[in-house]
Every structure is written in C-alpha cells, then in structure tokens.
Amino acid sequence: MSVTAPLGFRAAGVAAGIKPGGARDLALVVNDGPSRAAAGVFTANRVKAAPVLWSQQVLAGGRLRAVVLNSGGANACTGTEGFQDTHATAEKVAAALEDSAGEVAVCSTGLIGERLPMDALLSGVETAAGQLSRDGGLAAADAIRTTDTVSKISFKRAAGYMVGGMAKGAGMLAPALATMLCVITTDADLTSEELDAVLRRATSRTFDRLDTDGCMSTNDTVLLLASGAAGVKPDLAEFEQKVHEVCADLARQLLVDAEGASKAIAIEVVGAASEADAVTVGRAVARSNLLKCAVHGEDPNWGRVLAAVGTTDAVFEPDRLNVAINGIWICRGGAVGDDRSKVDMRPRDVTITVDLSAGPHTATVHTTDLTADYVHENSAYSS
C-alpha cells in the first residue's frame, strides 16, 4: 500500500527526535527508476516555507530521485538560515543515495517560525536511508503525521501499473491545496509534462475543493513521481482517472480526520452559470462559521446558507435560489420550502445542495462543522 505499492519505490519512516516524545517524524521516499519523471503543485500562499521554495526549484527540472519529509517543524518564516537547513537536508539525502541534491524534494510540516533541530534531522536522514525498503510505505505515512489521528494512504490498480499515495493534513485545510503534504507514486512510464498536467487537473478538483477552516498553509506540497518500473506507457485518460481517485480518496481521509470535526459536510452547488461560479459559491458556504456551527447543532439553518451565497458575485437571482439539506428542499425560490422538521441531520455526512437556477454547471466543496473541540485543539496546540 501507500507510496511503495508501485514498483521501483522504497521508503522508510523513522523517529529522528524532531518531535518530542519519540514518535516517528522523518520519512524518506526513493525512486529507483528506471525513470525519474516527476511533477509538483505547491501552496498558493505568498508566504512560502523554505522547503516549498527549494522543491519548486528542484521540480523545474522535472525529475525526482527522492523526497524527504519531516513533521515536528514547518521550517516556514525562518529566513535564509531556514533555506540553508532545507538545502543541507537535501544534500544529506543525496550523499546517502550517492546522487544529486538537485533531484531531492524536501517537505516539512509543523510549527511555523522555528528552526529545525538539524543535528537530529540529519542523523535521522542517515537512519532512514539505512532502513529503506519495498514495504516502508506505511512507516513513511506514519512519520509525516502532526495532529492527524491516523495515517492517510491510498492505492489503485490499473492496466499493468499501480498508483499509490500518502498524505498528512488535519487542520489549516483550505483552497490551494488544503494544507497538506502528499506524495503520489506510480510505476507507469510518463514524462514530467504528462505528470504535471494530470496532477494539476486532479488536485484542482480534489484537494483544492476541501476547505475545513479557510486557512491556507505555507507548506502545502503534492508530488507525483513515476518510476516506469512496470514498463507500461499508460492510457493517459485512465491514468488521470486513477490519480484523481487516489487524490479524492486521500482528500476524503483528510476531511474525516479534520481537527475537532463531528460532521463531514458536502456543499453541492448545481444550476450554476459556470463551474467557477459553482466553486465560488461552494467555498463561501463552506467558510460560514455560523453555518458550520448550525450543522454542528444539527439545525437545518438554510438562512445562513443564503446569507453566504449572497456574499458572492456568482450569477443568480435571490428569488430563484433553492436549498436542500440531506435531500429535503427546505428553501424554494429564495423563501421557505418543505417542512424543515423532515430534515434528518443526525448522520455524520451532511449534504447541502444549493441550486442557483442559472445554468448547467456544478461543483462540490467539502468542509466540516465548527466545534468546541476545534477551538480547544487550536487554542491549546501551537502549530
């Protein structure tokens, strides 16, 4: 499973001593080829962590031999010293693999604004390099967790090849990559240009449509590595479908594990004049703290849905808006619709359907409810 399901990949996850308490905190994923084609997408936040700046440069070459990831520290807002730390980490991986640092991506996650403990980290890289194995995918996925309560892994089989992935992310989930680290691997044979196009489309419709708290991270990174070890040139449409499935599966796992959440809410926008309108409306609704509180209280408060829709510039007429919650159309034509007592809000999954009555386009944005546990977790925990 995870990133080592496809042929050509080895991984390891070790406790380097970056996190207090001895939990795993350093992961290494290595592509043994024969191909090293790779692509990446990164946070849209203009305040980018050092590892993001480094990995963007590396990915410009379209090739990756390895990815090193640490939890326990984001190495964001750490100045030129922080960038040098990332560089040193890549060099250490390169030395262990007798390869070039220019093909080593670095990902970090954890508290912003603190330097990483480099002695511990570099010796962890050495340990991880010594433990690389074909079944190291689970340990690697475990090592990148921060407030995640479970490891997130996924795996899909296709015609003669496989796609595997791991991700971390539990808070600060918002558009432009949903605050996360994710590594996806395949043993199919593709060029970096093909991987780039597929990855951008897949992430734009999965991770980019997750918005649990409207907060965008400084460290988001999604990488796609192809070893070509299966010797298969895949059908591109099928490959894109598999990558999409892995991304969607991991995105769902992030959503379900979101900090303090008790409900998984799908905001399904239909009848939009464009897909962009549908996404805009979905995000506005997903970011309404008042609505998220109402869902937590199992109150089918469609007024708060309309109040959020009204803040957008999407094409719609207020008196043609319809809203259903869990299938009951409690708002029709911008006013009261079916009996709200018919809405069953008890299931963990809540679907809010917004019909803009303005066209044929649709999009779904996923979010969670707002709970006292979220407040507690993010008041007590520095991240």
Active-site residue list: 179
The residue from 103, 148, 187, 213 that contacts a copy of itself (CB under 8 A) is 213
The residue from 321, 325, 358, 363 that contacts a copy of itself (CB under 8 A) is 321
DSSP label at residue 215: P
The residue from 34, 276, 289, 349 that contacts a copy of itself (CB under 8 A) is 289
Measured from the CB atom, the residue of 225 and 323 that comes closer to a copy of itself is 323
The reply to whether 156 sits near a copy of itself by the rule CB under 8 A is no
The reply to whether 241 sits near a copy of itself by the rule CB under 8 A is no
Measured from the CB atom, the residue of 237 and 346 that comes closer to a copy of itself is 346
CA 127 to chain centre: 27
Instruction: Report the b/e string of 288-307 with b at 16+ CB within 10 A.
Output: beebbbbbbeeebbbebbbe
Which residues lie across from 13 on neighbouring strands?
27
CB burial class (10 A; 0-12, 13-18, 19+) of residue 70?
buried
Binding mask 51-90 for a copy of itself (x = CB under 8 A): -----------------------x-xxxx-xx--------
Measured from the CB atom, the residue of 35 and 108 that comes closer to a copy of itself is 108
| Distances in whole angstroms, Cα of residue 310 to Cα of each of 93, 294, 314, 319 | 51, 18, 9, 11
Residues 245-284 that bind a copy of itself (CB under 8 A): none
Instruction: Give the binding range for a copy of itself (CB under 8 A) out of 14-22, 183-191, 231-239, 371-379.
Output: 371-379
The residue from 61, 130, 231, 310 that contacts a copy of itself (CB under 8 A) is 310
234 touches 188 (CB < 8 A):
yes
Task: Collapse the DSSP code of 70 into the 3-class scheme (helix H, G, I; strand E, B; otherwise coil) and give the result.
Answer: strand
**Shortest Cβ 81–a copy of itself spacing (Å):** 8
Q: Which two tokens stand for residue 188?
A: 């199919």
- C-alpha torsion 18→20→24→26, nearest 10: -10
**Shortest Cβ 270–a copy of itself spacing (Å):** 18
**Shortest Cβ 63–a copy of itself spacing (Å):** 27
Q: Which stretches within the chain are classed as H helix?
A: 50-59, 79-97, 118-131, 137-143, 192-204, 236-256, 275-286, 289-296, 302-309, 372-380
The residue from 56, 204, 241, 312 that contacts a copy of itself (CB under 8 A) is 312
Sorted by sequence, the CB contacts under 8 Å of residue 283 that are 6+ apart come out as 175, 211, 365
- 70 among annotated binding-site residues: no
Sorted by sequence, the CB contacts under 8 Å of residue 321 that are 6+ apart come out as 306, 309, 331, 333, 334, 354, 355, 356, 357
Which residues of this chain interact with a copy of itself, rule CB under 8 A? 44-48, 74, 76-79, 81-82, 111-115, 171-172, 213-218, 287-290, 293-294, 296-297, 299, 301-304, 306-312, 316, 318-319, 321, 331, 333-336, 370-372, 374-380, 382-383
Annotated binding-site residues read 146, 168, 179, 259, 378, 383
